[in-house]
Chain A
Amino acid sequence: MAYNCVVLVKQVPDTKRVTGKAMNDDGTVNRAALPAIFNPEDLNALEMALDIKDRFGGTVTVITMGLPAAVAILKDALYRGADEAILVTDARCAASDTLATSYILSCAVKRIKYDIVLCGRQAIDGDTAQVGPQLAEKLGIPQITYVEKPVEIEGQTITAQRNIGNGWQKVKTQLPVLLTVTGEANVPRVAAAKKMMKYKAAMTPAGVEQKIKADNSHASDDEIKEMAVQKCSEMDKKGLLIEQWNLDFLKADLTWCGRSGSPTKVHRIQSVVLASKDTKSIEPTDDGLAGMIHELLEDKIIA
């Protein structure tokens, strides 16, 4: 029995490798200091889907919501073995919190035939772990969060082991289901050279149009459009066209998208300034250390 998997992925700033000030002086996030990467646990979700495909057959479709630049992680997913990639991008998605994001993603997932929806446990830019459960609710399917091992599937029944903080739990449910996957679940496979060769040229329709425009600076807008349509249909035939969906295509209710669809708002953002205390330097000598121990005893810090 084959299963259709949909994997939700996100391009995130690499918060572990901040190369400069995280914040600009005007209080906005300095994205330039934060290189963009494939959210680490989304790679584990992708691996779990690819593993299901290897064992049972079926398809793996990858969806991301983000800026056009997020196409980079979709290509990465194709290199690793995904069958299809979809970019959900629209300026009206901006300022979406987890609730609005899960609504928009639910509109996209509902357009696809799926048995299993997979997400990384959480994204490293927000660490909220909320979009998965919220998406499951919007799709009206059960969720199994914190899956920490490859799953077993028999017919329509899936069994998964999940981390419950102070131990683990083995649970069973009927498909369709949404899983959130932890970093412990598996080791993501690397990109395959053959697939890299194949998908290196993969692009979204907007990307195609942009490239034609750059290559044909004297062409009129109509000519560019015409060339783009032709090029897109060629690429689609070769499986190189990355689908691009906007909110109109998704028939999304705009009141539930972007700022208006987001109950949470930012009141204030502060750079982390840790309280600078009076620091006393201690010489790393027997006398220096004995003096410090004496002080700690006097202050009754140690008994």
Chain B
Amino acid sequence: MIDVNRQGEVWVFAEQHGGLLEDTPIELMSKGRHLADILGVQLGAMLLGDNVKGLAKKLIQYGADKVYLAEHPLLEHYQTNSYAKIIYDLIHKYKPQIVIYGATAVGRDLGPRIASVIKAGLTADCTDLQIGDHKTTDGQMHKNLLFQIRPAFGGNIIATIINYDRWPQMATVREGVMVMATPDTARKGQVITEKVQLSPQELPIEILEEHTRAKKVDLKAARIIVAGGAGLGSKDNFRLIWDLANCLGGAPAATRAAVDLGFIDHDHQVGQTGTTVRPSLYIAVGISGAIQHQSGMNQSQKIVAINNDPQAPIFDVAHYKIVGDLNDVVPKMIKAIKEKGFKEAIGEGK
């Protein structure tokens, strides 16, 4: 157990695979930097692996003051027990006040194991982190706590979770919800190399085989997204989404319902169990707008929604509301875009 420690640093777990940093820890660095600045403490990154020292520079450029480096051939591949042990030792030695992990497959496997050993709190899958004060029911005031903000009950409520008596305050943060900062190549930081000792009992798992693949689409990077829901009715009809996306130079996406119906691959899924996106333009076609979907797209700059039900919840977050049959509206929209683009290209229509 770690006592409350106001001078403790803010730490981010710098998840890497094969010597490459994931997007999520870089997103977390900018959030961590922000939290550390509010608290007036330093930002640390925990970097574990084999021959990963080169990544420290990048972490510093993205905001780290210190990189805690643990290198060992046995740390090349992530394993729950070995990584948990190294991080447990680091936390015990340096007593950070906040530790954040990406809510990735690794972060969600690792975080709870560490929380259980330290007997600390851990809030899963946060969508925002803030610093704030909490007054307990008996009137005690706790200042500058980590507000761990997350959806709960299937996204129907938003809970703000705190832990004021047992530290560190730990959270996993959903992928894609924190905005990545621009790296500052002039930034200076310190690399602290830790001695690593591991025993066989910390490596109970043998990895026999591993297959990874690149995502078929990078929704997070798309400026324009055209998303289809169950309202498309069939995989054939889902072509409308591809057509509209193509003529706008956008990426096709879908709701969970459409993915479950086999209209398109899971890589294209937007929402709570898919990707969180914030494009310039999000066109929602035949999507009713379940809260789980909305939470993954409501930060888009402009939202156009097409649905035949005027009461569909998607219209609550839309900037442009089009009530009509998508089989009629989408082709008309494609036509309008083609004509408009053509006219404006040759200087007409102004």
Contacts and interface: CB of A to CB of B under 8 A. Distances in A.
A248 interface: no
B201 to A, nearest CB: 10
B336 A290 contact: yes
Interface in A145-184: 145-146, 159, 163-174
A266 interface: yes
Contacts of B160: 266-270
A3 to B, nearest CB: 18
Interface stretch (B89-97, B112-120, B178-186): B112-120
A159 B283 CA distance: 44
B156 A272 contact: yes
A13 interface: yes
A165 B336 contact: no
Contacts, number: 246
Chain A CB within 10 Å, residue with most, of B160, B214, B215, B294: B160
A129 B154 contact: no
A159 B207 CA distance: 10
Contacts of B152: 125-127, 269
Interface stretch (B41-49, B64-72, B227-235, B315-323): B315-323
B346 interface: no
B153 A284 contact: no
Interface in A1-54: 13, 15-16, 18, 22-23, 29, 34
B208 A289 contact: no
A32 B161 CA distance: 24
Majority secondary structure, A binding face: mixed
Interface residues of B, number: 90
A128 interface: yes
A169 B280 CA distance: 36
Interface in B319-350: 319-325, 328-329, 332-333, 335-337, 339-340, 344, 349
Contact of B211 (A34, A98, A167): A167
A145 B108 contact: yes
Contacts of B20: none
Nearest to B117: A137
Nearest to B80: A143
A286 B332 CA distance: 6
B121 A99 contact: yes
B163 interface: yes
A282 to B, nearest CB: 5
A166 B212 contact: yes
Interface string B200-236: 0000111111111111000000001000000000000
B116 A173 contact: no
A267 B207 CA distance: 41
B155 A272 contact: yes
B255 interface: no
A277 interface: yes
A286 B319 contact: no
Contacts of A172: 205-206, 208
Given A265-B162, A278-B319, A301 B301 contact: yes
B154 A275 contact: no
A284 B161 contact: no
A167 B159 contact: no
A290 B322 contact: no
A127 B172 CA distance: 12
A265 B213 CA distance: 39
B320 A279 contact: yes
A264 B163 contact: yes
A127 B105 contact: no
Contacts of B27: none
Given A170-B207, A271-B158, A282-B321, 6 more contacts: A13-B153, A127-B124, A169-B207, A267-B160, A274-B291, A292-B336
Interface of B: 80-81, 84, 104-106, 108-109, 111-113, 115-117, 119-125, 132, 134, 145, 147-148, 151-166, 204-215, 224, 248-249, 280-281, 291, 294-295, 298, 301-304, 306, 315-325, 328-329, 332-333, 335-337, 339-340, 344, 349
Interface of A: 13, 15-16, 18, 22-23, 29, 34, 97-99, 102, 124-134, 136-138, 142-146, 159, 163-174, 256, 262-272, 274-282, 284-286, 288-290, 292-294, 296-297, 299, 301-303
13 contacts: A15-B154, A22-B157, A34-B153, A99-B121, A99-B122, A125-B154, A142-B204, A143-B80, A164-B212, A174-B204, A265-B162, A265-B163, A266-B159
